[in-house]
Amino acid sequence: MTAHLSATTPSGDPVPAGTRHATAVDAVAERWYARTLELDPAQAALHGIRPHETGYRDYGPDGPRAWAEAARDTLAELARTAPSDDTDRVTAHALRERLGVGLDLHEAGLTGWEVNNIASPVQEIREVFDGLPRGGAEDWRAVAQRLRAVPGAVAGYLRALHQAQARGRSASADQMRTAARQARGYAAPGGFFDRLARHRRVPEALREEVAAAAAAAREAYTGLADALSGELTVRARGTDAVGPEEYALRLREFLGATVDPAELYAWGVDHLADIVDEQRRLARRIVPGASVAEAVAFLDADPARRLHGTGALQAWMQELSDAAVDALAGTHFEITAPMRRLECRIAPTHDGGIWYTGPSADFSRPGRMWWSVPEGTEHFTTWEQTTTVYHEGVPGHHLQFATALANAAELNLWRRAGLWVSGHGEGWALYAERLMDELGFLEDPGDRMGMLDSQRLRAARVVFDIGFHCGFTVPGELGDALGGARPGVVWSAEDGWRFLRANIVMAEPMLRFEWLRYRGWPGQAPSYKAGQRLWERSREHARAAAGARFRLRDFHTRALRLGSVGLDTLEFALNL
């Protein structure tokens, strides 16, 4: 018996006539997605599929093995299933690519023991709470139950870390110490768990229950901090650099494509030099005869471009985001009513990151843009962050997520909600920054300098991330842009710090966060620029093929409706 992929659109309207029917390949993908949510119930809650699910994935040594077994079973089932149409062919391509690289990482012993300052279980276990509903009593009972699950999740994670170290796998001592500080901050009086327990919306009848559960979570995180800063640090490796073999696999994980790190490194060096030249020309427009640093200082000092306090920052982000949605909807992009809801929020932590979380599968929870402001940071510059709002919101991540999620008439739920590849997603968001310049939204020279600053940041980290992890030498041809990094020597962390300081306009606490991030999350940072390069290349290929019939809006709609597939799959799909 065949069934529609969705009986209604996200707005509740009937699915249009001619809607594609679910296929055998769709069923394989849906079963895989359902299995991943069984293995990771926190994701089910965040996706709004089982909103009061209260468990965690198995962070212990058995967790990665269970995932790998499920992946092998799914690939075997997929091999027995014939595609019915091009949509199936893209689904099968994407599923083989994602599960294939995941299994290669597992079999290389590279999963289950991550420790870094942004994307490891240290942050993940806590971050789940940011997306949970906090309305009535049922919501808060679920919060309390998940808080009680934190100690078990932390205990499993610690078992995995100790077992990995016994096999010679470990993050660096720097990553351990930084993650320990984060964990201790979450557990401190007045920290995240304490504030959650004292949240104004906790029903009076549940305050004692939530407080006791939060105390258990605090105790678990205190123990995690002690372990990370103690024995695990003593036994940690001394460097973050992973070497070229592991790096190539990590890069493939984040890109969904096989790319030669040496070629990408050489391109990154040339691309950074081009952006620096572009900034220099713009600086002389902002202040005649000025250097980039002098133009930046001028913009920083402009009272009209400064915000004071996180309240002002949040309000400014929301106003700019709403204006972008209003201007782009129906003109350059298809943005339906449910997709227009985007909330800008200040995160309940102070780690220094800026990120986006997607809407629930039914759009009842909107997409959200988060800013984790470091302690003591009270002043913000709009010229620097205008492009960030476009990157995280519309036409960046929010448009990307929401377009795929709304495409229930064509895509199975895995393609819509369970598939995310950094090179595709971050590449699109960086492409979106440049696109807003092309569309005339960055006519203010300060805002355009901010966009170029963002592009320069992403190009600089291509150079440092690849060079540092692969053991390449510092490129002397960048001249003054090296900022004190020693040309001709193998990249060190200290050379990277000097180099990043010369190329990234950012408050020191946030820049140190970024510097450590690149060292502890190899291959992720270059995925932005590598993805942008492929998006731009795909657009030009489509333009050449269509000739006078090419319409930019049509290209964007077709590409975004595919979902966040790997870059090899994107090229495959656009060439069908």
Q: In this structure, is the dihedral angle defined by the CA atoms of residues 193, 195, 196 and 197, taken in order, positive or negative?
A: positive
What is the helix (H) or strand (E) element at residue 371, kind and residue range? strand 367-371
Give per-residue pLDDT as tens, 404-423. Answer: 999 999 999 999 989 999 99
Helix (H, G, I), strand (E, B) or coil at 380: strand
Helix (H, G, I), strand (E, B) or coil at 439: coil
Q: What pLDDT score does 330 carry?
A: 85
Count Cβ neighbours within 10 Å for each residue of 508-544 and write b for 16 or more, e otherwise.
eebbbbbbbbbbbbbbbbbbbbbbbbbbeebbeebee
Give per-residue pLDDT as tens, 495-513. Answer: 999 999 999 988 888 899 9
What is the helix (H) or strand (E) element at residue 346, kind and residue range? strand 342-346
**416, HSE (Cβ side, Cα atoms, 13 Å):** 24
Q: How far apart are CA 110 and CA 33, in angstroms?
A: 22
Angle at 58 between CA 57 and CA 63, to 5 degrees: 115
How confident is residue 20, by pLDDT bands cut at 50, 70 and 90? Answer: confident
Q: SS in 3 state form for 417-431?
A: HHCCCHHHHHHHHHH
Q: What pLDDT score does 3 carry?
A: 29
Could you tell me the pTM of the whole model?
0.90
Give the 3-state secondary structure percentages of the chain, helix then strand then coil, rounded to 5.
65, 5, 30
Decide if 53 contacts 44 (C-beta within 8 A).
yes
- Nearest alpha-carbon partner for 158 in 184, 182, 172, 176: 176
Structural tokens at position 308: 């004071």
User: Residue 307's beta-bridge partner residues?
Assistant: 380
Q: What pLDDT score does 133 carry?
A: 87
Instruction: Compute the average pLDDT of residues 350-358.
Output: 83
| DSSP assignment string, 485-546 | --TTSBP-HHHHHHHHHHH----HHHHHHHHHHHHHSTTTTHHHHHHHHHHHHHHHHHHHHH
Give per-residue pLDDT as tens, 290-315. Answer: 999 999 999 999 999 999 999 999 99
Q: How far apart are CA 306 and CA 202, in angstroms?
A: 36
* C-alpha dist (Å) from residue 506 to 17, 161, 210, 388, 515: 51, 33, 38, 13, 11
Q: What pLDDT score does 348 carry?
A: 85
What is the helix (H) or strand (E) element at residue 6, kind and residue range? none
Count Cβ neighbours within 10 Å for each residue of 404-416 and write b for 16 or more, e otherwise.
bbbbbebbbbbbb
Question: What are the residue ranges spanned by the domains of the chain?
Answer: 24-248, 249-527
Q: What percent of the chain has pLDDT over 90?
A: 86
- Nearest alpha-carbon partner for 355 in 364, 363, 82, 346: 346
Q: How far apart are CA 26 and CA 459, in angstroms?
A: 38
Q: How far apart are CA 517 and CA 182, in angstroms?
A: 13
Backbone angles phi, psi at 417, to 5 degrees: -125, -20
Helix (H, G, I), strand (E, B) or coil at 357: strand
Give per-residue pLDDT as tens, 243-288. Answer: 999 999 999 999 999 999 999 999 999 999 999 999 999 999 999 9
